[in-house]
Amino acid sequence: MCLSKNKLIAEDLAYDNESFKTEHETLVTQFIDEQKNAYDSVMNDINSNGGGFLFVYSYGGTSKTFVWRTLSSKIRSHDDIILNDASSGITSLLLSGGRMTHSRFAIPLSLNEDSTCNISQGSDLVELIIRSKLII
């Protein structure tokens, strides 16, 4: 049970951790070598608190979403926060708690060279981003 006054954090910690643990145990056994390597790289970075950016590139239909789903279930099973965001509606629907990137991060729909995200310092969203173990 989350006692955070931050509604965004409380919502993101309101998952059934046991179901994610079971899901993770099932999914991780189905990896092929390339998927396992990507998963291990991300988890090693998270476990070492290394921070940084990782870029997973592959053609459509190569199971990137499967790797993301496995990472998500692992992180949530430990009562940690992962933000599953995508630029397309379909992908955001395939990830638990998935959201459209422009919605989550207040990115304007009409962009120009002066466009910025509308995230206020000290806001609940900032605290959520800081507490996140991973943003996909």
Q: List, for residues 20-78, the tens digit of each pLDDT value.
A: 999 999 999 999 999 999 999 999 999 998 788 877 777 887 888 899 999 999 999 99
For the question of whether the overall pTM of this predicted structure is more than 0.95, the answer is: no
Domain ranges within the chain, ordered by starting residue: 17-135
Q: List, for residues 80-101, the tens digit of each pLDDT value.
A: 999 988 877 776 778 888 888 8
Query: What is the full DSSP assignment across the chain?
Result: ----S-HHHHHHT-S-HHHHHHHHHHHGGG--HHHHHHHHHHHHHHHTT----------TTSSHHHHHHHHHHHHHHTT-EEE-EESSHHHHHHSTT-EEHHHHTT--SS--TT------TT-HHHHHHHHEEEE-
